[in-house]
């Protein structure tokens, strides 16, 4: 009898093709960071609402036996502020069913993208396979086409005013007036050609060359200029460190805020001595953190008492995540966002630049009041957890302001309650803002009654919903081996390689 081969790695992501692109690279002998880049190039193709080479993000990286490092390639404000009445900047409304949400599009809504510089910085620091191999699956898929999933069709419909906003967007996404439906084949050969050119020619094409020039088409309608693209720099930071039940957590540090807020919730739950059921204790920790965050006027420097910290604005919208770990304990947690896109297709390139500027959650002091030449902050919080030589886990989530509460609860379920990765992800979640509780129906009626008693202002969701984030997680455990789970709330996929 042939002995079953032990898995060499685990991947969790928001789309089957994203996860498969990463898994294929692991099978070829690539590092977890090679796999993360391959997965992210693919995400730009098959998850266009959530990921784009016109956006940015963060990688939490851990090489086996080494401290984790945070690679910040998030968007950056332009070097020149222009009044809103001088630029292209228009409000649109997305329909989420129970509620609508206002977004802003146009060239004036775009910050300096960091995605492509980020991929090359990660490649230089951590990778062994050539970039053209890491992008190959993505550009071939963009050109040959792929099947639209039900989740991606839903997202496109929610943000349809953005993806129908300009004639080029209509021509790409809705040539007959209707956005792609679940099961239909979608092709984007211009994006495939752009990805192939980036992989072949290198970073400069996207910061100073032809693709950079294409991103600056009609630049007078926005704030981005050539010097913004050419001067963008990826930053490597030491993570924010905290612990939970003996597990060390490496969190996204300031100027971003997601990791800091998660750390504060961990501290609150660590001193909790009440007899509350777990889900109620988590909701109270989320509420206490939100109250302090509001008191600080959503300013991370005020929240932490750091008067000399970096200025920032806060942004996090359409977001996707990939988690990867291998059998040696190398781990990558990478989260990216494009906002929702600015409504314009970059000519000949098949993608939208982000719309990070001007959104309400980006400017708590007032709409369109960003500072020049600073890194935007984010709720995105790719995280790596370790426990001596016994365990390493990588996780992260999409979900805007719910990122912090989703990751906090998943880690509490995992490390305080001892649930499996899959059970920790599928367990009922809560979220609290301004004292108002949103919660998925818990399995125990007593938990529901205590939640409702603790939070008179509440809304019960009858089933798990993408509102509560999309946490994709992998773990290497000395006792259980490799585990992986994608969040069903956002059609997550997990693969053991």
319 is an active site residue:
yes
* pLDDT interval class at 139 (50, 70, 90): very high
Distance CA 399, CA 466 (A): 7
Query: Would you tell me which CATH number, out of the four given (3.60.15.10, 3.40.367.20, 1.10.940.10, 3.60.20.40), belongs to the domain 240-314+385-496?
Result: 3.60.20.40
User: Could you report the per-residue pLDDT of 251-267, keeping only the tens digit for each?
Assistant: 999 999 999 999 999 99
Distance, in Å, from the CA atom of 489 to the CA atom of 91, rounded to the nearest integer, reads 28
pLDDT at 172 over 70: yes
pLDDT of residue 479: 85
Mean pLDDT, the chain, rounded, equals: 93
Q: Where are the domains of the chain?
A: 16-235+319-339, 240-314+385-496
Phi and psi for 495 in degrees, rounded to 5? -135, 130
* Beta bridge partners of residue 397, listed in sequence order: 471
Residue 474 reports pLDDT greater than 50: yes
pLDDT in tens, 348-393: 999 999 999 976 655 656 678 889 999 998 999 999 999 988 999 9
**Could you tell me if 378 and 58 are in contact, meaning their C-beta atoms sit under 8 angstroms apart?**
yes
Q: What distance in Å separates the CA atoms of residue 186 and residue 38, rounded to the nearest whole number?
A: 20
Structure tokens at 440: 């998925």
Q: Are 494 and 11 a contacting pair, CB within 8 Å?
A: yes
Query: 3-state DSSP helix/strand/coil percent for the chain, to nearest 5?
Result: 35, 25, 40
pLDDT digits (tens, 9 = 90+) for 44-102: 999 999 999 999 999 999 999 999 999 999 999 999 999 999 999 999 987 766 666 78
**CA–CA gap between residue 146 and residue 173 (Å, rounded):** 13
Give the per-residue pLDDT at 302: 79
For 135, 250, 253, 271, 394, the CA distances from 22, given in Å and listed in that order, are: 11, 23, 26, 39, 15
Taking residues 194-199, report their average pLDDT: 98
pLDDT tops 90 at residue 226? yes
Q: How far is CA 221 from CA 37, 109, 456, 492, in A?
A: 32, 10, 47, 38
Using pLDDT thresholds of 50, 70 and 90, give the confidence band for residue 310: very low
What pTM value is reported for the model?
0.95
First-to-last alpha carbon distance for the chain, in angstroms, is 21
Q: What does the pLDDT read at residue 313? A: 47
Q: How far apart are CA 171 and CA 129, in angstroms?
A: 36
Other CB atoms within a 10 A radius of the CB of residue 436 amount to 14
- pLDDT tens-digit readout, 17-29: 999 999 999 999 9
Exposure letters 389-400 (e unless 16+ CB within 10 A, then b): eebbbbbbbbbb
| Average pLDDT rounded to a whole number, residues 483-495 | 97
103: enclosing H helix or E strand? strand 100-105
pLDDT of amino acid 317? 58
Residue 346 phi, psi dihedral angles, 5° rounding: -60, 125
Residue of 18, 31, 242, 319 with catalytic role? 319
Range in 117-126, 217-226, 266-275 the model is least confident about: 266-275
**Res. 6: pLDDT tops 90:** no
Whether residue 154 is predicted with pLDDT greater than 90 in this model: the reply is yes
Q: How far is CA 236 from CA 16, 79, 133, 381, 440, in A?
A: 30, 21, 25, 15, 37
What's the pLDDT score for residue 478?
86
Q: In whole angstroms, what is the distance from residue 150 CA to residue 379 CA?
A: 26
Is 316 a residue whose pLDDT tops 90? no
Q: How does DSSP assign 387-420, residue by residue? A: ETTTEEEEEEEE-TTHHHHHHHHHHHHHHTS---
307: pLDDT strictly greater than 50? no
Do 474 and 421 meet the contact criterion of CB atoms below 8 Å apart? yes
Where does residue 368 fall: left (phi above 0), alpha (psi -120 to 50 degrees), or beta otherwise?
left
Highest mean pLDDT: which range of 191-205, 288-302, 316-330:
191-205
**Closest CA relative to residue 371, chosen from 304, 418, 284, 312:** 312
**Does 4 have pLDDT greater than 50?**
no
Q: In what order do the strands lie in the sheet with 430-433?
A: 430-433, 436-440, 458-461
333 closest CA partner among 13, 9, 8, 7: 13
Average pLDDT over residues 211-230: 98
- List Cβ neighbours of 66 (8 Å cut-off, separation of 6 or more): none
The contacts of residue 216 (CB under 8 Å, 6+ apart) are: 224, 225, 226, 229
> How far apart, in whole angstroms, are the C-alpha atoms of residue 99 and residue 59?
32
pLDDT at 202: 98
| Whole-angstrom distance, CA of residue 335 vs CA of residue 320 | 6
Q: Cα 354 vs. chain centroid, distance in angstroms?
A: 13
For the segment 406-455, what is each residue's pLDDT rounded down to a tens digit?
999 999 999 999 999 999 999 999 999 999 999 999 999 999 999 999 99
Tokens 């991929």 — which residue?
119
């Amino acid at each position: 009898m042939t002995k079953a081969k032990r898995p060499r790695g685990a991947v969790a992501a928001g789309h089957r093709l994203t996860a498969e692109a990463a898994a294929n690279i692991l099978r070829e002998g690539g590092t977890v960071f090679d796999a993360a880049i391959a997965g992210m190039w693919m995400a730009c193709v098959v998850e266009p609402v959530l990921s784009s080479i016109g956006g940015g993000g963060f990688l939490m990286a851990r090489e086996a036996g080494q401290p984790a490092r945070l690679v910040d390639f998030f968007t950056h404000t332009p070097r020149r502020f222009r009044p809103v009445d001088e630029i292209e900047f228009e409000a649109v409304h997305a329909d989420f069913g129970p509620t609508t949400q206002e977004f802003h599009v146009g060239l004036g809504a775009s910050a300096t993208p960091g995605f492509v510089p980020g991929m090359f910085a990660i490649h230089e620091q951590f990778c062994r396979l050539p970039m053209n191999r890491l992008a190959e699956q993505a550009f071939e898929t963009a050109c040959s086409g792929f099947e639209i999933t039900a989740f991606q069709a839903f997202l496109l419909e929610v943000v349809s005013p953005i993806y129908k906003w300009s004639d080029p967007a209509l021509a790409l996404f809705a040539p007959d007036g209707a956005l792609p439906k679940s099961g239909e084949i979608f092709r984007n050969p211009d994006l495939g050609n752009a990805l192939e050119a980036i992989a072949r020619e290198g970073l400069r094409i996207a910061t100073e060359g032809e693709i950079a020039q294409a991103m600056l088409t009609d630049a007078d309608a926005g704030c981005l200029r050539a010097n913004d693209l050419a001067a963008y720099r990826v930053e490597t930071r030491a993570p924010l460190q905290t612990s939970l039940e003996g597990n060390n957590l490496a969190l996204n540090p300031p100027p971003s805020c997601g990791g800091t807020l998660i750390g504060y919730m961990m501290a609150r739950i660590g001193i909790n001595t009440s007899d509350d059921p777990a889900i109620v204790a988590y909701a109270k920790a989320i509420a206490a953190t939100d109250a302090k965050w509001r008191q600080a006027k959503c300013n991370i420097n005020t929240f932490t008492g750091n008067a000399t910290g970096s200025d920032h604005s806060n942004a996090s919208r359409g977001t996707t995540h990939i988690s990867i770990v291998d059998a040696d304990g190398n781990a990558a947690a990478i989260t990216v966002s494009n906002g929702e896109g600015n409504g314009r297709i970059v000519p000949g390139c098949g993608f939208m630049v982000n719309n990070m500027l001007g959104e309400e959650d980006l400017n708590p002091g007032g709409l369109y009041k960003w500072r020049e030449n600073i890194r935007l902050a984010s709720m995105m919080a790719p995280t790596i957890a370790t426990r001596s030589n016994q365990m390493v886990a990588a996780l992260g989530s999409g979900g805007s302001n719910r990122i912090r509460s989703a990751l906090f609860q998943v880690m509490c379920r995992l490390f305080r309650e001892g649930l499996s990765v899959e059970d920790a992800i599928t367990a009922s979640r809560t979220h609290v803002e301004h004292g108002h509780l949103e919660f998925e129906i818990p399995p125990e009626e007593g938990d529901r009654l205590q939640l409702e008693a603790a939070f008179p202002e509440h809304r019960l969701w009858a089933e798990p919903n993408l509102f509560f984030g999309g946490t994709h997680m992998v773990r290497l455990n000395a006792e259980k081996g490799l585990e992986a789970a994608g969040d069903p709330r956002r059609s997550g996929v997990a693969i053991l390689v």
